[in-house]
A and B are shown apart, each in its own frame.
Chain A
Amino acid sequence: MPNMSMTKVPMREQEPNVRNKNFEEVALGYTEDMAVEEASRCLNCKHKPCMDGCPVNVPIPGFIEAVCARDFDKAYEIITSENALPAICGRVCPQENQCEGKCVRGIKGEPVSIGRLERFVADYHMAKGDTSVPEITKNGHKVAVVGSGPSGITCAGELAKKGYDVTIFEALHKAGGVLSYGIPEFRLPKSLVAKELENVTRLGVDIETNVVVGRSLTVDDLFERGYEAIFLGTGAGLPNFLRIPGENLLGVYSANEFLTRVNLMKAYKKGEAPTPIKVGKKVAVVGAGNVAMDAARTAKRLGAEEVYIVYRRGEEEIPARAEEVHHAKEEGILFYLLNNPIKILGDDNGYVSGMEIVKQELGEPDASGRRRPQPIEGSNYVLDVETVVIAIGQSPNPLIRQTTEGLETQKWGGIIVNEETEETTREHVYAGGDAVTGAATVILAMGAGKKAARAIDASFQE
């Protein structure tokens, strides 16, 4: 008999007013008993709607059944048959729009907390320190993967399991892509990213850091060096700016720069890491996606007294995960919605002294069905801030498309692929993740990496 509680078993969390001063993980996860209790809310539906919502097709009811039976090892096996990075997905997937969004229990009450259960199973397995390596028969084919973010690692892992000799080329000094430089420690501990990466290298995947494909080596150089297929998982590395006056003033950061200083370069460890970060007492973060929430919550933890999310649309349009918005509000981040920045003001020395904002109201629905925000005349005011973080999205980095003949891209820079196979317009070159879609989610990138791995494997079977 399933547990008919209408609500999810709550997950333990650090208190908002404690955690907004430290960089430790916010959510503390389920205990075994909590996991079993939550798992027993699953109805084990025959038609498995949750799986349709999962971009990598994790057999969700199956793993939850194993949790119910306290067979956590089996649950892990079931998840990892389809998902190589469960500890990460359990933490950063927008479950409300995916698996949990389709859960039958969600029709009346809250859906089963699939994300928390996935996280529990992954953490349980990790804590056991299992380092067993599956037996792999090498097939003698060499594949290069460019970029070690979610799509690259997934593609590399899948191919390695099938016997391919895979090398990942990473431009930065550290592997992980956005998992390392972008998502903050308090949401995704870096020690955990390192462990998930170890799981991939244990399969025999070689990661070469400090190689910028497009500069150090071109795609053609890789073919010349014996790689027979190439997967481009180069992400969306190019920060977008607002193109309003004052964006080059001192104290204006792209979210990429702000988060990279803190996450990759460890600037939050003041006095230990030499890379600096400077945060004013009042900080405005422009945008309302996951990256904006990460930047705002990071600013608060770095000591900012007031942090504002400044967003030109309304509450319903906020693109961030519901949990991030909830956490941000709990931590004291102030939401200035329907507020559109039009100018950043500076003092005589070039430092940010404020931001001019015009208030907006929602007008008629536009082509996308969303009500279009329009400025309210005469509503301009100046928000007193010393730091501005621009978090309005990223575009694909142009380095590879500029140096690879025959690789076609969209006008905005996304690499064009066959959606079934992730094949680009250049033979034997595949691409996936943000480099193709523009900034999206970890799980969609993983789905693309997996699809590409399957297509690459198929191409060698022909």
Chain B
Amino acid sequence: MYKILKKEVLNSAVILMEVEAPYVAFRCEPGQFIIARIGDEGERIPLTIADFDREKNTITIVFQALGYSTKEMAKLEVGDSFLDFVGPLGSPAPFKKEWKRIIGVAGGVGSAPLYCQLKALAESGVSCDVIIGGRSAEFVILADLFAKFCDHVYIMTDDGTLGDKGVVTKKLEELIQAGEKYDHVITIGPLIMMKFVVQMTKQYDIPTSVSLNPIMIDGTGMCGGCRVTVGGETKFACVDGPDFDGFAVDFDECMKRQSFFKEEEHECNLRMAQ
């Protein structure tokens, strides 16, 4: 079970895998996530679904080999299997029928879950634009795939090695000021990026959804580790989300909570290096 059918190294840190997972593929929808595990005492690693194929019973995930467990995961090859691969978890992305034109804003690996959402929206007749950001050309991923169904694909890099130089919010503001009209913005990427996107779209009053990926264990509402304050209320990202109304999310709290195990992560990485 959970055999890896395809592996693509997208850049020095990011890997794409297509995994056989019939129970996940059967009912999953864009916006939902899976939890993967390798090794007998391995961590449960939550990853938002990047694509799915109901006929082939497969799920595509894209992840950054950053910590101990994701680096171990990156070593798996085609033909290897995950020990556990459970889902779909979380609620499907809350699409609205009245959306006619939307824009997605992605940073880094955030492109992958955004791809899943925009593809579904485009298939249902919504016209989509996308802004993809990355540190440099290498870190801009899936641009060719977005190009298949997006009207415009805008690329932003910090160093200007691809597309325009600058951050994604710069491009978004340019577009809005140039008179482009969007019913909705979906932004997925690092917390700090989503925070700034939301700050801007708030000014222009364009509803914006964000996708959160906080620390969690079970992903079914049991541990409550993924608590996030939305509109002054505590929500569990794993069951109430992972997508939320960006205007209502307390990003500063999210960022603090994300950093809780930094020391332990560092120690774990050091141990692995030995």
Contact between B41 and A248 (Cβ–Cβ < 8 Å)?
A: no
Stretch in A25-33, A101-109, A205-213 touching the partner: A205-213
Stretch in A62-70, A135-143, A260-268 touching the partner: A260-268
Contact between B86 and A171 (Cβ–Cβ < 8 Å)?
A: yes
| A216-B88, A237-B221 known; A210 vs B264 contact (CB < 8 Å) | no
Contact between B41 and A276 (Cβ–Cβ < 8 Å)?
A: no
Contact between B220 and A217 (Cβ–Cβ < 8 Å)?
A: no
The contact of A211 among B86, B229, B263, by CB within 8 Å, is: B86
Q: Which residue of A lies closest to B253 (CB)?
A: A248
- Minimum CB–CB distance from B78 to chain A (whole Å) comes to 21
- Minimum CB–CB distance from A269 to chain B (whole Å) comes to 7
Q: Per DSSP, are chain B's interface residues mostly helix, strand or loop, or mixed?
A: mixed
Q: Which residue of A lies closest to B263 (CB)?
A: A278
Residues on B with C-beta less than 8 A from A171 are 86, 218, 220
Residues on A with C-beta less than 8 A from B84 are 173, 209-210
Contact between A257 and B220 (Cβ–Cβ < 8 Å)?
A: no
- Minimum CB–CB distance from A182 to chain B (whole Å) comes to 10
| B76 in the interface (beta carbon within 8 A) | no
Residues on B with C-beta less than 8 A from A238 are 221-222
| A212-B86, A248-B257, A266-B41 known; A217 vs B26 contact (CB < 8 Å) | yes
Residues on A with C-beta less than 8 A from B86 are 171, 173, 209-212, 216
Contact between B44 and A173 (Cβ–Cβ < 8 Å)?
A: yes
Residues on B with C-beta less than 8 A from A181 are 218, 222
Contact between B24 and A216 (Cβ–Cβ < 8 Å)?
A: yes
| A266-B41, A275-B43 known; A212 vs B222 contact (CB < 8 Å) | no
| A216-B24, A265-B43, A274-B41 known; A241 vs B224 contact (CB < 8 Å) | yes
Contact between B223 and A212 (Cβ–Cβ < 8 Å)?
A: no
The contact of A276 among B44, B229, B257, B261, by CB within 8 Å, is: B261
| A215-B89, A274-B41, A274-B43 known; A260 vs B217 contact (CB < 8 Å) | yes
Q: CA–CA, A185 to B257, complex, Å?
A: 28
The contact of A274 among B27, B42, B260, by CB within 8 Å, is: B42
| A134 in the interface (beta carbon within 8 A) | no
| A173-B86, A260-B222 known; A276 vs B268 contact (CB < 8 Å) | yes
Q: CA–CA, A87 to B190, complex, Å?
A: 48
| A342 in the interface (beta carbon within 8 A) | no
Contact between A210 and B23 (Cβ–Cβ < 8 Å)?
A: yes
Chain A 320-346, CB-CB to B under 8 Å as 1, else 0, gives: 000000000000000000000000000
Q: CA–CA, A265 to B39, complex, Å?
A: 11
Contact between A271 and B271 (Cβ–Cβ < 8 Å)?
A: yes
Q: Which residue of A lies closest to B72 (CB)?
A: A274
Residues on A with C-beta less than 8 A from B259 are 250
Contact between A397 and B220 (Cβ–Cβ < 8 Å)?
A: yes
Residues on A with C-beta less than 8 A from B260 are 250-251, 278
Chain A 260-300, CB-CB to B under 8 Å as 1, else 0, gives: 11001110010111111010000000000000000000000
Contact between A215 and B27 (Cβ–Cβ < 8 Å)?
A: yes
Contact between B224 and A256 (Cβ–Cβ < 8 Å)?
A: yes
| B163 in the interface (beta carbon within 8 A) | no
| A303 in the interface (beta carbon within 8 A) | no
Q: Which residue of A lies closest to B88 (CB)?
A: A215
| A16 in the interface (beta carbon within 8 A) | no
The contact of B41 among A212, A250, A273, A278, by CB within 8 Å, is: A273
| A196 in the interface (beta carbon within 8 A) | no
Q: CA–CA, A237 to B217, complex, Å?
A: 13
Q: CA–CA, A391 to B91, complex, Å?
A: 27
Contact between A257 and B69 (Cβ–Cβ < 8 Å)?
A: no
Residues on B with C-beta less than 8 A from A217 are 23, 26-27
| A239-B224, A257-B224, A350-B256 known; A274 vs B87 contact (CB < 8 Å) | no
- Minimum CB–CB distance from B187 to chain A (whole Å) comes to 22
Contact between A350 and B89 (Cβ–Cβ < 8 Å)?
A: no
Contact between B37 and A257 (Cβ–Cβ < 8 Å)?
A: no
Q: Which of B165-221 contact A (CB under 8 A)?
A: 217-218, 220-221
Which of A216, A237, A251 counts the most chain B CB atoms within 10 A? A216
| A314 in the interface (beta carbon within 8 A) | no
The contact of B223 among A218, A250, A260, A349, by CB within 8 Å, is: A260
The contact of B220 among A250, A264, A278, A399, by CB within 8 Å, is: A399
Residues on B with C-beta less than 8 A from A239 are 222-224
Q: CA–CA, A261 to B222, complex, Å?
A: 12
| A123 in the interface (beta carbon within 8 A) | no
Chain A 240-262, CB-CB to B under 8 Å as 1, else 0, gives: 01000001101101101100110
Contact between B44 and A265 (Cβ–Cβ < 8 Å)?
A: yes
Which of A251, A256, A269, A398 counts the most chain B CB atoms within 10 A? A256
| B119 in the interface (beta carbon within 8 A) | no
Residues on A with C-beta less than 8 A from B68 are 274
Contact between B227 and A173 (Cβ–Cβ < 8 Å)?
A: no
Q: CA–CA, A325 to B91, complex, Å?
A: 40
Q: CA–CA, A188 to B84, complex, Å?
A: 25
Q: Which residue of B lies closest to A238 (CB)?
A: B221
Chain A 201-245, CB-CB to B under 8 Å as 1, else 0, gives: 000000001111001111001000000000000000111010000
Closest 5 CB pairs of A and B: A276-B264, A257-B223, A350-B256, A210-B86, A254-B224
Q: Given known contacts A216-B87, A237-B221, A248-B257, what 12 new A-B pairs fall within 8 Å (CB)? A: A215-B89, A216-B23, A239-B224, A247-B227, A248-B228, A254-B225, A257-B223, A273-B41, A275-B43, A275-B217, A278-B263, A398-B221
B residues with CB within 8 A of A: 23-24, 26-27, 32, 37, 41-44, 68-69, 83-89, 217-218, 220-225, 227-229, 234, 239, 253, 256-257, 259-261, 263-265, 268, 271
**What are 7 of the A-B contact pairs (CB < 8 Å)?**
A173-B86, A209-B84, A212-B86, A215-B87, A217-B27, A254-B225, A257-B224
A residues with CB within 8 A of B: 171-173, 181, 209-212, 215-218, 221, 237-239, 241, 247-248, 250-251, 253-254, 256-257, 260-261, 264-266, 269, 271-276, 278, 349-350, 397-399
